Chain A
Amino acid sequence: MTSVAVPAPHVAAAAHAKTGLWSWITTVDHKRIGILYFVTAFIFFLAGGIEATMMRIQLAAPNATFVDARTFNALFTMHGTTMVFLALMPLSAAFFNFVVPLQLGARDVAFPRLNAFSYWVFLLGGLFLNSSWLFKAAPDTGWFGYANLTSKTFSPGHAVDFWMLGLQILGIASLAAAFNFIVTILNLRAPGMTFMRMPIFCWMTLVTSFLIILAFPVITVALVLLMFDRFTGTSFFVPAGGGDPVLWQHLFWIFGHPEVYILILPAMGIVSEVLPTFSRKPLFGYPFVVYSGLFIGILGFGVWSHHMFSVGLGPIADSVFAITTMLIAIPTGVKIFNWIATLWGGHIRPTTAFHFAVGFIAMFILGGLSGIEHASPPADLQQTDTYFVVAHFHYVLFGGTILGIFAGIYYWFPKVTGRLLSEGLGKIHFWLTMLGFNLTFFPMHLLGLWGMPRRIYTYDKGLGFDTLNLVCTIGAFVLVISTLVFIVNMLKSIRGGKPSGPDPWDARTIEWSIPSPPPEYNFAEIPTIEHRDDLWERKRSGKGPYPQPANAHVHMPNPSYWPLVTAIGILLFFIGLMLSIYLAIFGFVFTAFGIYRWAFEPAG
């Protein structure tokens, strides 16, 4: 491209509004899409939290009547589905969106409109799923919807339909995003950024994206088979017609196990960025952390039946899956040891982001240890489907993923907004979270061992469950308070926080070399990379800042509303499957129309 001498980078794009609702609706800017993901996902996180708090109130005492059985069953179903698909995954996506292009030295993701499309489909899918509450048809068969409870015979009505179709919609969003991020990470790295010089968060995003594209189609098929059973009367999972409910479990968990690695790897990536910055030394064993991530991803497809140890698959299957499950503990442990070695010998600056990253390690270790108990099928027969496993997965998903995400929020908030979150409020948030989290979930290990199954809306007195359940509920309220502290911190700091400048943490990766918040085009000139942690090396070598020529010609994509139109078509199609074949046909045609206009739109 030829250079044109202008005083500032000339953004070659049709004039379009930068503010206002329409600019957000048509945005294809990865930074804005990241913010949209974050705000939406956080609201769903609060919804999931409210669902959890209601459950905890019901379980605070034996034989309580705060909510009835059906409501409770819907609460735990929606809590799980919301937290997994509408909160944790999109919160990770918020970071993929905002951070990855900046860390790679790119102007945007490879396919900006596809990126916007992923967000809109996610939003509409989440709204669709939650609209079920309004129709008194909230799904109530658990987040993993085991057949044949989900058949039309045992779940008449639309509750399961909302769950089944909602997940299909959300699957499309996740797949589209994953395709986009794989291409972005493979193809849009700055010159000189070989794979082993790439920030570790980008590595984890890459592995996560591969997991998504390989795992989601399997649950898509499982849900398709369920759709056929419920809508057309086939017997894929109906015993009377020869179907096998256990097939659902296999298909679901072949997706479901990689899904939990999809949930944890991004947070591990965040922790792997935060710890080196605040220890002021590089990530110890970077290649080993990378290989561990790869190994976890691959092996993650070989452990699924450890969710099925009580099904009676036979001693050989049980043994094989026990061994593969134990094997996966090894790369997980390697990561933990490398994090600790990163801290070792460092000059630690204990910022709030750092606190949450350390909290992640401490809590994830506990979650991993309870996981090892589960890996042994005979021991697991006492633990599966009890509060012990509820404790396990909350330690890894809350103590792990959520704490990791908070670390990421406190770390990258300055880059997004140009302001720092309050460290004082942040520390209060952290300690209240640690207190509330452990109060809520540690006792659940004991409750499970004492014989309390999961997914029960009440329990009898005289079983010894009373006191600890009350403790868990108190912990839940502490978590509510900690969340409020965080919300206050966010709201105060967005406008009133201390200005951060481009590099408040004296960090290591190149997103900290550009202004906070970054300009629309991110980098006036794409930097040339010579090292891992290139910014740190550059700062220490005295080379000066990256060249920011005034005469660069920058080409940014046009905004577009076709991603939203296509997303609406998809929503109408799935609603139509539930309600009316005519609406489904209309939705299909509308989607095709959206795709055509999208394909032939000048990209700008």
Chain B
Amino acid sequence: MATAAAAADHHYTTTGLNSRKMLFWTFLGSECMFFGSLISTYLVYKNHSTTGPYPHEVLNIPLTSISAFVLLMSSLTMVLALAGVQRDRIGQAKLWLAATAFLGMIFIGNQVYEFHHFVTSEGLTLQKNLFGASFFVLTGFHGAHVTVGVIWLLSLLIMAFSGKLSSKNSLDVEIAGLYWHFVDIVWIGIFTLIYLIQ
């Protein structure tokens, strides 16, 4: 039973859940609605483009499957990074944080390649048709989220190298992990709805 003494404890919370983690979950809730609206816009405008190029003409499923797999693997490395920090095995943490950031950068690289290819070789731009507009805005915002995540991970990596990361502040890594997994899950949604189901 909660008491005044317990309440005086710095880390006391009514639910027992850490407040920063809870805050981050509320943020992820709003992000669900954000991406949900962008995905809905894409779906509403599917088959409404008045002119090509059309999805089936330009989307490269094999290549995108690989990059989706890369992102999925990066969630695994993220879990390993968190495990490392929680067990005070900072060497492990550094390795897996770097791996996660690296895999994230590969994903971004593929996005950049895909966008560049669409614009220069396929003639698909933001302005060309509704497919271009809704595709680039949706995947562009997702890519921006991944980029922010990569920067976040690199910051944690720098902290690790500066000796500032330990099991005491593993929450920082855990929250970065929540973000990273969320961004991955959004990609699974996008990949399924845009690339696989045409």
- Decide if A and B are genuine partners: yes
Judge whether B38 is part of the interface by a CB distance below 8 angstroms: yes
Q: Is A1's CB under 8 angstroms from B10's CB?
A: yes
Q: Is A525's CB under 8 angstroms from B126's CB?
A: no
Judge whether B49 is part of the interface by a CB distance below 8 angstroms: yes
Q: Is B14's CB under 8 angstroms from A187's CB?
A: yes
Known: A188-B13, A242-B50. A233 touches B34 (CB 8 A): no
Judge whether B192 is part of the interface by a CB distance below 8 angstroms: no
Which residues from A are CB-within-8-Å of B41? Answer: 221, 225, 236, 247, 251
Q: Is A191's CB under 8 angstroms from B3's CB?
A: yes
Within 8 A of B (CB), among A185-241: 186-193, 213-218, 220-222, 224-225, 228, 232-236, 241
**Range class of the B interface residue count:** 35 or more
Number of A-B contacts (CB under 8 A): 132
CA distance A243 to B128 in the complex (A): 12
CA distance A187 to B9 in the complex (A): 13
Which residues from A are CB-within-8-Å of B133? Answer: 228, 234-236
Judge whether B76 is part of the interface by a CB distance below 8 angstroms: no
Using a Cβ–Cβ cut-off of 8 Å, how many residues does chain A contribute to the interface with B?
50
Q: Is A233's CB under 8 angstroms from B127's CB?
A: yes
Q: Is B26's CB under 8 angstroms from A228's CB?
A: no
Judge whether A425 is part of the interface by a CB distance below 8 angstroms: no
Which residues from A are CB-within-8-Å of B31? Answer: 217
Judge whether A505 is part of the interface by a CB distance below 8 angstroms: no
In this complex, the member of B15, B26, B45 whose beta carbon has the largest number of chain A beta carbons within 10 angstroms is B26
Which residues from B are CB-within-8-Å of A189? Answer: 14
Which residues from B are CB-within-8-Å of A110? Answer: 19, 23
CA distance A190 to B127 in the complex (A): 55
Which residues from A are CB-within-8-Å of B6? Answer: 191
Judge whether A485 is part of the interface by a CB distance below 8 angstroms: no
Judge whether B4 is part of the interface by a CB distance below 8 angstroms: yes
Q: Is A218's CB under 8 angstroms from B26's CB?
A: no
Which residues from A are CB-within-8-Å of B188? Answer: none
In the complex, given contacts A183-B22, A191-B14, A526-B4, what are 14 additional A-B residue pairs having Cβ atoms less than 8 angstroms apart? A1-B8, A111-B23, A180-B23, A186-B22, A188-B14, A191-B1, A213-B30, A214-B30, A224-B38, A233-B126, A234-B132, A236-B45, A241-B50, A525-B8
Give A residues with C-beta under 8 Å from B: 1, 110-111, 114, 175, 178-180, 182-183, 186-193, 213-218, 220-222, 224-225, 228, 232-236, 241-244, 247, 251, 254, 525-528, 547, 552-553, 555
Give B residues with C-beta under 8 Å from A: 1-4, 6-10, 13-15, 17, 19, 22-23, 26-27, 29-31, 33-34, 36-38, 41, 44-45, 48-50, 126-127, 129-130, 132-134, 137, 141
A-B residue pairs in contact (CB < 8 Å), sample of 15 = A1-B10, A178-B26, A182-B26, A187-B17, A187-B19, A213-B27, A217-B36, A220-B37, A221-B37, A224-B38, A228-B126, A228-B137, A525-B4, A525-B8, A528-B3
